[in-house]
Structure 1
Amino acid sequence: MFSRNLLPMEGLTCSKGRILRLLPFAAGLLLLLIYLTNFNLPQFHQLNAQQSGTENEEKELHRNKFGNSSESVNSVDRNDREKCDSSKFQIKHLHTAFQDCVTKNEDILLKRYLEGWAELQKFINALGIIFGFISDEVSNKMKIISKHQQGVHGREYVSMQSMIDYELANNVVNFKELPSDRLESGCRTLLRLHRALRWLQLFLNKLRISSENDSMSVIGADSYHQSLGKHHGWFVQRAAGIAFLALPTRSDFLHILCVEDSKETKDKLWNAVNVIGRVYNITQHMYERYDMLALP
């Protein structure tokens, strides 16, 4: 049984006020704990072990220079390239997918578009487990569009233009509220990916022009607040702010991008940023034409 010595209503109101004022602090503390414990995860120990192993391999190669020196260099190059297998992010695959998704009449082929996003998701995952909230959202949106493509009206979801024409003609797009009795519209779903694409485009471009002394945390956060952050609520913005503090160093990004040197990094990033920008601009203009940039 509850005690009969209940607090008066004024006391309850005051307590509630104090609790509400403490909520932002508690949320921030929780996110900070997540950030700090992130560095104790097995994947970081595994990364350190892999780096140590790589250093030992390089030392061993230097100690065994009895053979042809050019053969040793070629061997190292092959070993580095083999690390960039299909399970890891490859910027060349990203570039090819987004380049091929644009048609001659500037439409977007959704299958190739999703293939480009599958590569970008690998990049997001490589940023660290704390970015899982963004990766999960991307995965969910990709699955929704794939379900539309595999459904009875799949042929209407071949390209962005055909999807928009079909959904507008059949009242699939709901401009006032989210649909509760059917799969979310492809137009609304792709708009979420479109917003995230802008963040990654800005991020990769800032990385391209950055120097060794630039902070990856600042670059990531600035790109986020200029794009995707505008569409997120307070809590998600704070979570993202903590997540960006855990971004890898610039040298680690070179490993993520599977590139060899600074010049190769700038060239490949320049090509990727350009092709992503073209896809983004075509999508932006198409959504503007049909007044769908503010879909709920």
Structure 2
Amino acid sequence: MSLGFASQDSIPANLRMYQRKLQPENKAKLLGCWGRAMRFLPAVVIIILLLIYLMSFNLSPFQQLNPQESIHQSHHKIKLIAASATMNPVDRISGQRCDNNNFQIPQLLAAFQACVTKDEDISLESYLEGWTELQKIINALGTVFGFISEEVNSKMEIIIQHRKGVHGKEYATIKSMIDYELKSDLVNNSRLHSDGLVSGCRTLLRLHRALQWLQLFLDKLRYDSQSNSISDICADSYQRTLAKHHSWLIQKAAGFAFLALPSRAKFLHMLCVQDNKDTRVKLWNSVNAIERVYNITQHMYAQHGMLELP
């Protein structure tokens, strides 16, 4: 009994031949569409992983070790960290005022000039003051750089708490910190201080590496022409410095972040910096002061074979 559907035998021969010819063509089209879709798969995976990575920063490593401590209990010299951490200049450019919560080149220069002691050591108090200003630069790059800002903030908090602890006097300078932690065998990655803090030497090494990135970025910024974008400057500085210390995932995340950077004019406006000769002179002096601090720190770490600490 027929149910109303044509059997294969009832279909004319020429139509059957057309069906057989059409099937490979359809398969080829499907494979073509699938191939085009697969080309976008790596980018989709990277974006998903990036979102997962960024969401993992709800609590910094320091906050996990010390839930009772907060940034508001930090040293009075770096009380502006909280204000700078909440800034989101990219999302609210309009109506911005230039006040003490914004980036200040004179404060940056003064802090890093004060870092170097008479015996070529580095004062950690002044070092953290300088980083308070540098963190504002990172914040001005936008929320997409939150993963670097969070890392810097957590490392600063650890150094602050070391300075406030029972062995605070040992954390007056980088040299005194290195001598104390090596003598006490606290640089080993598997050990924590009795107060639950990780090694100050390892912590500061992360800031030291990031310092080189920002020093090169500022150096290029004062020399660049209007045709060079902030994205290009920042990406090139990153590839020459921090990239070699980051995993593939973080490098890809940074690559996406560079694409979202504002124009040079907007970036300088968000930092409350005028693009003129006076600014370039101040940046030049600041870059030189930062470079000197970096080189002294680099030499001390190299002397003790600690530049490649994991």
Q: Tell me the equivalent position of 1:282.
A: 296
The alpha carbon displacement at 1:45 in A equals: 5.7
| Counterpart amino acid of residue 116 in structure 2 | V
1:179, distance to aligned residue in structure 2 (A): 3.1
Report whether the alignment pairs 1:226 with 2:240: yes
Instruction: Report the counterpart of residue 202 of structure 1 in structure 2.
Output: 216
Q: How does 1:1-296 map to 2 (within 5 A)?
A: 24-30=42-48, 44=90, 46-47=92-93, 49-50=94-95, 83-174=97-188, 177-179=189-191, 182-296=196-310
TM superposition shift of 1:50? 2.8
Q: CA deviation at 1:24?
A: 3.8
Q: Point out the more displaced range, 204-213 or 23-32.
A: 23-32
Instruction: Quote the Cα distance in structure 1 between the aligned partners of 2:307 and 2:271.
Output: 31
| Superposed structure 1 runs of 4+ greater than 6 Å apart | 31-34
Q: Residues 32 and 242 of structure 1 are in contact (CA less than 8 Å); yes or no, is this contact kept in structure 2?
A: no
- 1:236 corresponds to which letter in structure 2? I
The letter for the 1-side match of 2:191 is P
What is aligned with 1:58? none
- Structure 1: which 5+ residue stretches go unaligned? 1-20, 35-41, 52-82
CA-based RMSD: 2.3
Which residues of structure 2 form unaligned runs of 5+? Answer: 1-38, 53-87
Paired residue secondary structure (1:50): coil
SS in structure 1 at match of 2:92 = helix
User: Once the 2 structures are TM-superposed, how far is the Cα of residue 120 of structure 1 from its aligned partner?
Assistant: 0.6
Deviation at 1:180, TM superposition (A): 5.7
Q: How many residues align?
A: 235
For the pair shown, the structure with the greater C-alpha radius of gyration is 2
Alignment TM-score, normalising by the size of structure 2:
0.71
The percent identity for this pair of structures is 61
Q: 2 CA distance for matches of 1:165 and 1:134?
A: 29
